[in-house]
Amino acid sequence: QVQLQQWGAGLLKPSETLSLTCVVYGGSFSGYYWTWIRQPPEKGLEWIGEINHSGSTNYNSSLESRVSISGDTSKNQFSLRLTSVTAADTAVYYCARRTQLRNWFDPWGQGTLVTVSS
Q: What is the rounded CA–CA span in Å between residue 4 and residue 2?
A: 7
Q: Does 44 bind other proteins (CB under 8 A)?
A: yes
Choosing from 18, 94, 114, 116, the residue that interacts with other proteins (CB under 8 A) is 94
Smallest gap from residue 111 Cβ to other proteins (A): 5
For other proteins, which residue of 45, 55, 72, 100 counts as binding (CB under 8 A)?
Answer: 45
Note whether 111 binds other proteins by CB under 8 A: yes
- Residue 70 lies near other proteins (rule: CB under 8 A): no
Give the residue, chosen from 78, 89, 109, 114, that forms a contact with other proteins under the rule CB under 8 A: 109
- Nearer to other proteins among residue 30 and residue 99 (C-beta): 99
Nearer Cβ to other proteins (34/94): 94
Radius of gyration of the chain from Cα atoms? 13
Amino acid letter for position 48: I
Q: Parallel, antiparallel, or unpaired: how do β-strands 32-39 and 18-25 relate?
A: unpaired
CB of 53 within 8 A of CB of 29?
yes
The angle formed by the CA atoms of residues 53, 57 and 62, to the nearest 5 degrees, is 150
Alpha helices in 20-116 (DSSP H): none
How many Å is the maximal CA-CA distance in the chain? 42
Rule CB under 8 A: is residue 115 a binding residue for other proteins? no
Q: Which residues bind other proteins (CB under 8 A)?
A: 44-47, 60, 94, 102-111
